[in-house]
Amino acid sequence: MSDLRDAGMNSKAWPFEEARRLLKRYEKAPPEKGFVLFETGYGPSGLPHIGTFGEVLRTTMIRRAFEVISDIPTRLICFSDDMDGMRKVPGNVPNQDRLREDLQRPLTAVYDPFETHESFGHHNNAMLRRFLDTFGFDYEFYSATEFYKSGQFDGVLKRAVEKYDDIMKVMLKSLRDERAQTYSIFLPIHPETGRVLYVPMKSVNKDDYTITFDDPDGREWTLPVTGGQVKLQWKPDFGARWAALDVDFEMYGKDHSTNTPIYDRICEILGGKKPEHFTYELFLDDKGQKISKSSGNGISIDEWLTYASTESLSYFMFQKPKTAKRLFFDVIPRAMDEYHQQLRAYPGQTPEQQVANPVFHIHNGDVPASDMVVPFSMLLNLASVAGAEEKEQLWGFIRRYAPDATPEANPQLDAAAGYAVRYYNDFVKPEKVYRAPTDVEREALLELKNKLTIFQSLELPVDGDALQQIIFDVGRDRFDPMRDWFKALYEVLLGASQGPRFGGFIALYGVAETVDLIEKGLAGELG
C-alpha cells in the first residue's frame, strides 16, 4: 500500500494531481466535520445525459485517488437543482403542450410528461439515480426541493438576509445595467400560482427574515425566506450551498468558469470556505455544437450502452478532461479497443505506470484481465462481411480463430460481439458504399487471391502476421503510399474507407472466405 501511495503522490495522472491539491487544504489540520465532501450538481431540466455521468465519474476518480493518498474519510453528494423554475419545454419529451402550462414552476411541481412520477423533476431525478446506481457509484442524493422545504437551508438563507447588501454588491458587478435594476438574489415562489418569480425586492427584512415584493399583477406579498417559500438565484445558490454543506470539492463545465469568483465570494460572505475546483471542457456533438439536455443532441447514456460496454464509456471520460471532445457514435469503436489495450498492458506495468493507466481509475485499482482475443474493430468488420444479424454468427468465426474461446470463458468478448452486431446494423450497414477496383487495384486483387489460394493449399498455420506480409508483398511495387492499397481493400471489399489490420482480419474471417470475397468484389457483386 505504501508503494501505491508513493506512486499516487508523484503521479501526473489528473485525478492524483487534483487529489494532492485537495489534500493540501487539510495539511495543517483534518476537517472539523470529520470527512472531505465532494459534490456534483445536476440540473433536472431535461433527461440525464452523458455529460452528467461524466461529472460524477470524474469526481469519483478524484475521490478514489484522494483515498489512495490520504486516510481522511470522504463522502460524495449528488445535488439536484430541482427547485429551479422550468424556463422552457425540452424538445425531446412527450406531451409538450401540457408541459407549457407549468412554465416557471419549480421542476418538482411540473407535470411529468411521461406520467410515471409525481413530477418532471422527480422523473428526471429517478432517471439520474437509476443510472448512477447501475454504474455502482457511491453517492448520497440531495434534492434542492427537500433541502429548502425541510429547513436544512434555513440557516444559510437567514445569513443571506443578513448579508444581503454584500451579496448584492458581488452580483451587481456582473450584471448589465438593465438587469441590475430589477435583480434580487431571492426568488419567491408565488403562494397562489406556484411559479418562481423574478421580481425586485421592496424590502429585505432582517428583523424577521422575510422579503416583501410585488407580484406581476401588482399585489404586494411578504414571505419568510425559510421553509421552501423562497429560493436563491442560481449563482448565489451555488455559493450558498457550498457554505451550507461545507463542500470541499466540486467540478463543473467550462461554461461555469467565469462565475467561479462569484460563487467563491458568496460562499465566503456566508461564512464558508470556498471549495477546490476543477473545470472541464464541454462535450460536442458531431457538428461541433455543445451537447444539451434540452435539445437531446449527442449520445445519450442508454445509446452508448447499446453499442459498447460501460467501461469503454468510462475510458472515454477519463481521457483529457480539459480538452473539448466530440462525443458521437464514431468514437465508440476506438474507445472499446483502447480500453482493452490498457487492460492488457496493466499487469506488466510498474506501480507508477499503473496509477497513470486509465483502467486503474476506472476500476479503483481492482483491474480485471481482458478476454478480448479479437479487437472490437475486427468484430465490426467481421459483422460487416458476414452480414451478421446475431452475435452467434460471429462466434462461428471466432471459435475457428481462437479455439479455446467460448461465450462463458470470454464474457467480455461475448458482450462485444453483441455490441458489434448492433453497431454494424445501425451505423455501418446504412453507410456502406462499395466501389469497383481500378485497373491497378484489380491486378493487385487478382494476385492477392492467387497467393491466398496457394497459402491455403499448403495448409500453413493461419497466422495474421504471415498473411499481412503477403498483402504487403502484393502492394509494395504497385502503390505509393502503401495506405492507398489498404484503402482499396477496405473500399472494394468492405464498403468502408478504413478498416482493420487486414492480415488479422483474414485470419479471423478465413482464407477461403476471403478468396471468395475478393472474387465477389472483382465481379461487382458486393454492392
The length of the chain in residues reads 527
Letter string b/e over residues 139-166, b meaning 16 or more CB atoms within 10 A of that residue's CB: beebbbbbbbbeeebbebbebbbebbee
Cα separation, 505 vs 377, in Å, equals: 10
76: left (phi over 0), alpha (psi -120 to 50) or beta: beta
CA distance linking residue 246 with residue 274, whole number of Å: 8
What tens-digit pLDDT sequence spans the chain (527 residues)? 578 999 999 999 999 999 999 999 999 999 999 999 999 998 887 666 777 888 999 999 999 999 999 999 999 999 999 999 999 998 889 999 999 999 999 999 999 999 999 999 999 999 889 878 888 899 999 999 999 999 999 999 999 999 999 999 999 999 988 888 999 999 999 999 999 999 999 999 999 999 999 999 999 999 999 999 999 999 999 999 999 999 999 999 888 889 999 999 999 999 999 999 999 987 776 666 666 554 555 677 788 899 999 999 999 999 999 988 777 788 999 999 999 999 999 999 999 999 999 999 999 999 999 999 999 999 998 998 888 999 999 999 999 999 999 999 999 999 999 999 999 999 888 888 999 999 999 999 999 999 999 999 988 888 899 999 999 999 998 999 999 999 999 999 999 888 878 999 999 999 999 999 999 999 999 87
**Whole-prediction pTM:** 0.88
Q: Which three cell numbers stand for residue 114?
A: 411521461
Cα→Cα distances 71→34, 36, 61, 64, 351, Å: 11, 10, 16, 11, 20
